[in-house]
Amino acid sequence: MAAPAQLGLQNAASPIMEELIAFHDHALMIIFLISSLVLYIISLMLTTKLTHTSTMNAQEIEMIWTILPAMILIMIALPSLRILYMTDEFNKPYLTLKAIGHQWYWSYEYSDYEDLAFDSYIMPTYFLEPGEFRLLEVDNRTTLPMEADIRVLISSQDVLHSWAVPSLGVKTDAIPGRLNQAMVASMRPGLYYGQCSEICGSNHSFMPIVLEFIYFQDFEVWASYLYI
């Protein structure tokens, strides 16, 4: 989850998110390069009385400011496409989880395990234990095995929602009548928080997601105890 007043991306818990953070640094470096150049040139123009009253053609500079931006765009596009194709790799998932958006909670179904399904509502503030996070905790956390590729099928029962967990680099729209597929994998155990990311009504800000990643053996024990 984000620290108070955090501006940057959350720490990565999956290899894809690490790649995305590195790409974000690369793109931001290019943004700073262009912005500082433009700012310098603007200040140059504002601090002189010298003018050129008979500017005609400028073939050389036209070539420069066409080719240079094209090269910059290629430098951005190549790593971007590399990561895009990486996120689309589906390598025999260990487990399939269905995440279905409702107004205003998420429901999860583990179809690989018979009848394992539950709803996940926000924990109201007055029910929070000391140390828990306001507007981020839920009553039933989504427990998953760590160090495993997990396929998440995301849909919605009513309006548009979006299932997002920033530290795992996942944000996938939940669309009624459609199944969207995302891959999730955590390298570390722990709790990963997310929030609904598509406006869905009055309680859109109050339907968080909490993923609890534990060892596979403990996950199997949990799955055997929790079924409806």
Partner 1 sequence: MASEVLAKPQMRGLLARRLRIHMVGAFLVSLGVAALYKFAVAEPRKRAYADFYKNYSPEKDFEEMKKAGIFRSIK
Contact residues for partner 1 (CB under 8 A)? 12, 18, 21-22, 25-26, 28-30, 32-34, 36-37, 40-41, 44, 48, 50-52, 141, 143, 146-147, 187-191, 212, 214-215, 218-219, 221-222
Min separation Cβ 67 and partner 1, Å: 14
The answer for residues whose C-beta is within 8 angstroms of residue 136's C-beta and 6 or more apart is: 1, 193, 195, 208, 210
> With respect to partner 1, which residue has the nearer C-beta, 168 or 200?
168
Min separation Cβ 35 and partner 1, Å: 8
Which parts of the chain are beta strand (E)?
A: 95-102, 105-110, 116-120, 142-145, 150-156, 161-165, 170-174, 180-184, 190-195, 208-214
Question: Tokens 């596009």 identify what position?
Answer: 77
Question: Tokens 């928080």 identify what position?
Answer: 193
> With respect to partner 1, which residue has the nearer C-beta, 4 or 130?
130
Chain mean position to CA 20: 9
> With respect to partner 1, which residue has the nearer C-beta, 112 or 218?
218
Token pair recorded at residue 71:
């090269």
Min separation Cβ 131 and partner 1, Å: 9
Q: HSE on the CB side for 172, CA within 13 Å?
A: 23
In the chain, the amino acid numbered 157 is Q
> With respect to partner 1, which residue has the nearer C-beta, 36 or 157?
36
> With respect to partner 1, which residue has the nearer C-beta, 93 or 189?
189
CA-nearest of 220, 185, 189 to 15 is 185
Min separation Cβ 204 and partner 1, Å: 25
Min separation Cβ 202 and partner 1, Å: 28
